[in-house]
Amino acid sequence: MGSAAAWALAKRGRDVTLLEQFGPGHRVGASHGSTRNLSLAYSEPDYVAMLAEALRLWAELEDESGERLLARTGVVNHGPDPQLGTMHAALNSAGLRADFLPLAEAAERWRGIRFDQQVLHMPDGGQLNPDAALPAFQRLAVRNGAAVRHHVKVLDLRIILDDDVLLTVDDGGRTEVLTARQAVVTAGGWTSKLLTGVAGMPRLTVTQEQPAHFGIADDGADWPGFNHFPGPGGEYDDWYSPVYGMHTPGEGIKAGWHGVGPVVDPDHRSFQPEPLQRAALQRYARHWLPGVDAGSMADISCTYTTAADHNFVLDRIGPVVIGAGFAGHGFKFTPVVGRILADLATGEGAAPAIFSAARTGIR
């Protein structure tokens, strides 16, 4: 989100420096790997509006960078969850394609998946490539005059006289003090550590999530992105959450539980999967993904940073702009979040109220 904000701000001619505490392509946060679903599985009006803008901005980023960042495989949601009907209505009202398909048609088209009761197909969705997108945001920001500094960790952030920010940073063991008129903080799992005592905001929980790549058993199967929503009944007794998944070329079929991993300190992670959740995910693959080899399982580790209501935090408090709480469903919105953060930093606009840092009931 910081890279997208730098892209948006630099395009407006602003003086921008992007600080990243790790190196390019690092694996210790939440935005690495070569696939993230661009899923349209939303019904809330603010998110649906952001989806429409995201599709436009991803296309704009592809044009500017000359790179293919989105594979339009489509996304299918299935399962007995009654919210699928609400999503269908909301998406079609916004001009985003979504259609229910008969089970037999879905099974014939995507034979690697065992479909459950109802299938909602969203052909505009697909898979985004974070490993290509983040460098593209940064290259384009630099092209427009931004400075990008990796391996620079912000140790302390202070507001000075309500209209300036003082940053103490560690640049390879050398301490440096920087000042700025505004600071945009998009620190993922480190957000609360950095902003405690600086800006009031909802409580954020950091969890270590553990999706996995499964080997492909059916080389002739086509794979959309997918989300499987459970319902009541014994068939779902050992589920931890809905399941999401997608094809990662060269690595297999990614599948994972959503936002149910153990709470962690981002500076002290094991990177090891929780064994009961891992075993349940493998059972899921055996039962619901006939196109994979459930015995061929390569673990992945990433973090989620989540507010209690699962909505983002996008707000400005004095000279500090906050982008946080993206929690496993934010990547598809990256260029839109960058635009909103740029609006907040320049005073050119506000974020939807559902993203307010002062919203009630979730602290």
Q: Counting beta carbons within 10 angstroms of the beta carbon of residue 341, is it exposed (0 to 12), middle (13 to 18) or buried (19 or more)?
A: buried
Q: What are the extents of the domains in the chain?
A: 2-30+132-205+307-350, 36-128+211-300
3-state secondary structure of 122: strand
Residue 363: its pLDDT value, please? 47
Residues of the chain with pLDDT under 50: 363
Tell me phi and psi for residue 101, to 5 degrees. Answer: -115, 145
3-state secondary structure of 109: helix
Residue 199: its pLDDT value, please? 85
Whole-number Å distance between alpha carbons of 83 and 52: 20
3-state secondary structure of 6: helix
CATH class of 36-128+211-300: alpha beta
Residue-wise pLDDT for 60-89, tens only, equals 999 999 999 999 999 999 999 889 999 999
Residue 123: its pLDDT value, please? 97
Q: Is the Cβ–Cβ distance between 267 and 254 less than 8 Å?
A: no
Whole-number Å distance between alpha carbons of 76 and 117: 13
Arch. (CATH architecture) of 2-30+132-205+307-350: 3-Layer(bba) Sandwich (3.50)
Whole-number Å distance between alpha carbons of 228 and 231: 10
Residue 177: its pLDDT value, please? 97
DSSP single-letter state for residue 355: G
Residue 360: its pLDDT value, please? 58
Among candidate residues 298, 277, 239, the one with its CA nearest the CA of residue 81: 239
> Crossing angle of helices 45-65/334-346, nearest 10°?
100
Token pair in block for residue 288:
């619901």
pTM assigned to the model? 0.96
